[in-house]
Amino acid sequence: MEHHEVLIVGGGNAGISLGARLLRDGIRDVTIVAPQPVHRYKPLLNYVGGGQATMADLERPMRDVVPEGCGWVRDAVETVDPAAMTVRTRGGPLLHCSTLVLCPGLEEDWAATPGLQRAYADGWAASTYVPGSAPQVWPRLTSLTSGSVVFTVPPEPASCGPTALKPLFMACDHWRRTGVLPDLDVCLLLPEPTATGVPAADEVLERAFADFGVEVLREARMERVDWDVHALTVATPTGRRVLEDVAFAHAVPHYRAPNWIADAGLADPAGLVGIDPHTLRSRRHESIWAIGDAAAVATRPSGGGLRRQVDVLAQNIPAARDGRPLQRYDGYTVMPITVSRRELMLVEVDRDGRPTPSVPLVDLVEPRRATWFADRYVLPRIYWRRLLRGRV
Ligand SMILES: Cc1cc2nc3c(=O)[nH]c(=O)nc-3n(C[C@H](O)[C@H](O)[C@H](O)COP(=O)(O)OP(=O)(O)OC[C@H]3O[C@@H](n4cnc5c(N)ncnc54)[C@H](O)[C@@H]3O)c2cc1C
């Protein structure tokens, strides 16, 4: 049986940046288990859906992002035995480790919305959250000149859900410029009463919804999709509503954590890896940790939040081994939302919803062109050149 000092499950934002950071900090034997051949910088998917980026801008071969000196098992984990500290992969050997970090992200829960997967295959629905369909979003949106179009924000657990508003606003801005906005009925499904739960940000977003004439269905859940007649059934607090004759649906699937987490007895009631959200350590096994979208970090998951999580966990793994006090993650997270083609608001809060701005003296919640530029062009460079290389 192969043994590793640190075994990381998942080669996304969390797994690669943590692996790189641990190696940089002097841990020698770090191995990542990740099946996919391609690594994606997901925040740019929304810019693909807004006609401002291509898939080539956000994809790199995995072999180029796995840190130098890091082991890479090109396989998917199927089971975890926490007591034995082993994981079994789909096709490979049994792997044993001293420290296990789980960061497999979330997966689409197609079964939660009957008909939706078929609607994607049909091309009537697509979204920036499903990479294979993201390139269809902007051509489909910009081909519309009249009729009804629906956008959804996914319910939790979801990966930085409010960023699903980006394609909506970029499309509305485009439709206004081309003069067709008055002929389109734009409907938005929000899972909560407001878009972010942060009053200052919601105020800006409510103004933008009103300005573009977007009808907002609140606490709304996409129940089923009848792709053949282009209809969506939505559950709302006041009853069920059927949206008919929808020309295109930017319908984001619901998400869930992989089932093997619960099968291993490591899940919280929502199916995420049950951890102490401050120390990021499993509540049940002291040598198991989790970060990223699949971890119960008790805050909205985001790539921005991961920067802090990686920093805390990289310190806590050796601290736990040496019996030193553990660092604490304050739940910092970000929600970058474009409110037009060239303006973005950046919402930064901690676990209690308190504003935690990263830049002093500038109100980044106020939509700005400079913030859009940073989100579209500067952050991707920082991601590839610094974050994935463990320089957090
Ligand atoms: C459309 C979209 C836009 C976003 N925009 C922003 C933004 O603007 N700003 C921001 O801060 N955040 C944004 N996010 C959120 C951010 O991208 C995520 O929080 C981040 O990618 C989470 O990283 P992760 O490593 O936990 O999960 P992922 O990036 O999903 O990576 C998980 C990896 O684990 C692998 N895996 C899965 N199952 C297994 C298994 N059984 N065995 C081994 N490996 C497995 C997967 O193949 C995947 O590569 C966005 C997310 C999406 C989807």
Distance, in Å, from the CA atom of 132 to the CA atom of 218, rounded to the nearest integer, reads 28
Does the beta carbon of 103 sit less than 6 angstroms from any atom of ligand 1? yes
Q: 279 in ligand 1 pocket by Cβ < 6 Å? A: no
* pLDDT attached to residue 74: 97
pLDDT, tens digit, 9 for 90 and up, residues 126-136: 999 999 999 99
Q: Which helix (H) or strand (E) holds 136?
A: helix 134-143
Question: What pLDDT is recorded for position 141?
Answer: 98
Most distant CA atoms of the chain, gap in Å: 65
Query: Does 392 score more than 80 pLDDT?
Result: no
Helix (H) or strand (E) holding 306: helix 303-322
Q: Which CATH architecture has domain 2-105+257-331+384-389?
A: 3-Layer(bba) Sandwich (3.50)
Strands (E) across 71-168 are located at: 71-73, 77-81, 86-89, 94-102, 107-108, 147-152
Give the residue among 359, 382, 154 at the shortest CA–CA distance from 368. Answer: 359
Query: What pLDDT is attached to residue 132?
Result: 98
In this structure, the strands spanning 71-73 and 30-33 are: parallel
CB of 299 closer than 6 angstroms to any ligand 1 atom:
no
Q: What is the pLDDT of residues 313-339, one digit of tens each?
A: 999 999 999 999 999 999 999 999 999
User: In this structure, which amino acid lies at residue 355?
Assistant: P
In terms of residues, how long is the chain?
A: 392
322: CA distance to ligand 1 center in Å? 31
Please say whether the beta carbons of 166 and 259 come within 8 A: no
192-202: pLDDT as tens digits = 999 999 999 99
Task: Record the tokens describing residue 178, joined without a space.
Answer: 């081309």
Q: Which percentage of the chain shows pLDDT scores above 90?
A: 98
Segment 47-106, tens digit of pLDDT: 999 999 999 999 999 999 999 999 999 999 999 999 999 999 999 789 999 999 999 999
Q: Give the number of C-alpha atoms closer than 13 A to the C-alpha of residue 233, restricted to the C-beta side.
A: 12
Confidence at residue 361, expressed as pLDDT on a 0 to 100 scale: 86
Per-residue pLDDT of 209-252, as tens digits, reads: 999 999 999 999 999 999 999 999 999 999 999 999 999 999 99
Decide whether any atom of ligand 1 lies within 6 Å of the 310 Cβ.
no
Ligand 1 binding pocket mutation candidate from 160, 259, 333, 338 (most atoms within 8 A of CB): 160
Instruction: Convert the pLDDT of each residue in 120-174 to its tens digit.
Output: 999 999 999 999 999 999 999 999 999 999 999 999 999 999 999 999 999 999 9
Can you tell me the distance from the alpha carbon of 229 to that of 212, in angstroms, rounded to the nearest whole number?
A: 27
Please state, as a whole number, how many other Cβ atoms lie within 10 Å of the Cβ of residue 150.
26
Determine which helix (DSSP H) or strand (DSSP E) holds 203, and give its type and residue range. Answer: helix 199-212
Q: What is the mean pLDDT of the chain?
A: 97
Q: Which atom of ligand 1 is nearest to the CA of 375?
A: 8
Determine if ligand 1 sits within 6 Å of the CB of residue 79.
no
Indicate which atom in ligand 1 lies nearest the CA of residue 258: 38
Q: What are the domain boundaries of the chain?
A: 2-105+257-331+384-389, 108-255
Q: Is the dihedral of CA 146, 153, 231, 115 positive or negative?
A: positive
Q: How confident is the model at residue 1 (pLDDT cuts 50, 70, 90)?
A: confident
> Is 24's pLDDT higher than 80?
yes
* Cβ contacts of 175-180, under 8 Å, gap ≥ 24: 175/144, 176/212, 180/144, 180/145, 180/146
Cα separation, 255 vs 106, whole angstroms = 6
Tell me if 387 CB under 6 Å of ligand 1. Answer: no
Tell me the HSE value of 227 on the side-chain side, using a 13 A CA sphere. 16
| Pocket lining: 35 vs ligand 1, CB cutoff 6 Å | yes
> Do 2-105+257-331+384-389 and 108-255 have matching folds?
yes
Q: What is the pLDDT of residue 78?
A: 97
Match domain 108-255 to its CATH number in 3.50.50.60, 3.40.50.10800, 3.90.550.10, 2.130.10.10: 3.50.50.60
